[in-house]
Each structure stands twice: as structure tokens, then as C-alpha cells.
Amino acid sequence: MTMNVKITASNTIDTLEQIQSVLGGVIEEKWGEFFLKIDNEKAKGTIRFIAFDRGVSLLDYDIVFYEEVLFSRDTSFFNPIRFSYCMEGNYGHFFEKSNSKTKIEQYQAVIVTGKDGGHSCTLFAKNVHVKLNVIQVLRNKFVASTDCTMEFVNEKLYEVFYDSDHDNKFAYYGTYNLKMADKINAIYKIKKKGILRMLTIEGKVYEILSMHISQHNQEVKGEKVETTLLKEEIKLIRKYSRKIIKTPDVNYTLESISEETGLTQAKLQEGFKLIYSRTVTEYIRHIRLEKARELMNTTDCNVSQVAYTVGFSSRSYFSKIFKSKYKVSPSEYLKLKQKKTILQTGVA
């Protein structure tokens, strides 16, 4: 069952109250930091909000939901540009009436804004600990208070910032960026109090915002985001990828690979994305599907046998993703193979 949190607020403080009305919890405020603290049968964790000058604010989540939760934001009332970064866990994003939902992975940077009259939706899975950093920019106030003419953004983002009537939606699902994780972690480590704390956090927020914009500029130009991986770490990832090819049936997890290689989960994600243009999970799934197709071409195994041989525990899930990748179901693939054999050999 999915809990629906419908957000129609015109500011973030009211947004917290609308979330509270569904999920419960208590809202506390200290030196301009607002915290929605929840500890009940629906969720456990904190949602924090801080507003700064120039129409910029910070909204971050450190929470686990005990049921699937859908946040549906009516962008008619409050529609900032959201620069998001997933520090831990994952979540889904989609626009209302869209057929596609994008899964946002750990360490991935995202820029999203909706159109007037639409809905921007965020889906949090059950029992997944999510740490999500969101910088919100009210474009009219930000542009008006910025001394320059925004030459530092590329054409696509320029159009987003100057879309004052909110006529268009925009979604950029970026690659992995470990440097951004380091900057965001620095916010959590700030021990200062009062006005010094707020000024320090604000400075970090603008640094992170500039990193979002810089990354988008690079990727629009087709430039690779600078990697933090050492040569030896890249070699280690390549070596492990060959192990996955040889033994795709092993029950690999990001945690187990991290423990075995000694690389952090962040470095693993960055490395696989850099070398193979896939996340760790996507790479494992790709190898298993390729191996499955090879088995169907070279053996007499049925669909269930093939699925279990390459490491899938569910035949239905295997069939679903096989068809998504190859545009034909495993059963249909085997039938086509059989017809081809009959035509070639004349033996039924």
C-alpha cells in the first residue's frame, strides 16, 4: 500500500506541515532551522528545512519510511528548481501523466522543475534509508538578486532559470559525483551554533549549487565529470567485473562487493559508471541477460533453468527484463530459435 502525501503548499514551511499531517511527527525550530522529526509506525527520521537569501533554501531528508510513500507536489503553487543529490538509498521521480519513472541511485545528481499546473512526484520505497539533499531555487528571486546575467550556465539551464511563467518542465538525471558527497557531508559535520552555523551552512549550499551547475555544463558539452578514482582502483574494478562475467549466478550485492574489494560503495558506483556507463546493479543485470541469451542459443535449457543458472530467483522478473532488453520474451526467443533450427536442418 502506498501512502500519498499531496503537497499544495506555496512555501516549504507549509510543505513540512502537509507532510506532518500524513506522516505525523513534531516540527521544531532553532536559529532558522526547521526540523520535522518522525518516529512512529509510518517512518523514522528527520526532514530539515533552512531558507536563505536570494530565493535559495535547503531541504534534506534523513529518514526511512515503513510503507511506500508518494510525494505529489502541485507545481501550480510552489515550483522552485530542485537540485537534488542522493547521499544514501534511492528513490523514484516522475511527472504526473508520464509513462516513465526514473530511479535515482545513490551518489546521483538531479535537476528537476515542473510546469505550471502539473505535478512533480517523488516515490520513496518501503524500508529504504534515504539521505537526500535538495537545494531549492526560486528562479525569479534568484535571478533578480544575482549581479551577473547568468552567463555561467549553459543554454538549457539558462532557459530553465528564465522560464518565469513556468511553462516547461525540466529533468536532468546526472551521473555520479563523489566530490559532491564530500561537500554535503561537510554540512552534517558543522558544529558551530547560531548565526555562525547558519552562515557556514549557507556557504556550503552555494558551493554545492555551483557543483550541480558545473556538472550539468560539463555533461551537456559531452565532457566526462572528473573522477576521484586512482588507477589501481580502476584496475580492481575491471578485475572484479571479469569475475561477474565468469560467475554471474553469484548473489552479488553492493555491500558484498565493497567488502570483498575494499572499495567504498561510492567508488564502486563511480567506477562502474565511468568504465561501463552502468551502475553496479545495471552491469550485473546486463551480464546475466547476455549469459542467458548465450545459454538459450547453445543449450536445450528451458526458461526456468536458464533464469536460475544465471542468478535470477524469479522467472517472471527474468522474463520481464529480458523482453525489455531484447524486445522479445524468453519463451518467444526459444520458439524463434527452434524455427530457425528446423529451417536450417529440416528436422523438427
User: Do residue 54 and residue 190 come from a single domain?
Assistant: yes
CATH code, 171: 2.60.120.10
- pLDDT recorded at residue 226: 63
User: Do residue 215 and residue 239 come from a single domain?
Assistant: no
Per-residue confidence band for 230, with pLDDT thresholds at 50, 70 and 90: confident
Q: Are 129 and 64 in contact (CB under 8 A)?
A: yes
Q: What is the pLDDT of residues 204-225, one digit of tens each?
A: 999 999 999 888 888 888 776 6
Rounded Cα distance between 75 and 113, Å, is: 8
3-state helix, strand, coil in the chain (%, to 5): 45, 25, 30
Decide if 226 is inside a domain: no
User: Do residue 25 and residue 121 come from a single domain?
Assistant: yes
Per-residue confidence band for 128, with pLDDT thresholds at 50, 70 and 90: very high
Per-residue confidence band for 342, with pLDDT thresholds at 50, 70 and 90: low
CATH code, 341: 1.10.10.60
- pLDDT recorded at residue 163: 74
Last residue of a domain, one of 180, 196, 220: 220
Per-residue confidence band for 50, with pLDDT thresholds at 50, 70 and 90: very high
Question: Above 70 in pLDDT, residue 341?
Answer: no
Last residue of a domain, one of 161, 196, 220: 220
User: Do residue 191 and residue 295 come from a single domain?
Assistant: no
Domain that holds residue 305: 231-345
Q: What is the pLDDT of residues 94-111, one digit of tens each?
A: 998 777 889 998 888 999
User: Do residue 73 and residue 139 come from a single domain?
Assistant: yes
User: Do residue 139 and residue 111 come from a single domain?
Assistant: yes
Decide if 12 is inside a domain: yes
- Which of 85, 100, 107 has the alpha carbon at shortest distance from 279? 107
Decide if 174 is inside a domain: yes
- How many structural domains compose the chain? 2
User: Do residue 87 and residue 186 come from a single domain?
Assistant: yes
Decide if 67 is inside a domain: yes
- pLDDT recorded at residue 150: 61
Q: What is the pLDDT of residues 298-319, one digit of tens each?
A: 898 999 999 999 999 999 999 9
User: Do residue 193 and residue 251 come from a single domain?
Assistant: no
Residue 29 is classified by DSSP as E
User: Do residue 183 and residue 43 come from a single domain?
Assistant: yes
pLDDT mean over 51-70: 93
In the chain, what percentage of residues exceed pLDDT 90? Answer: 54
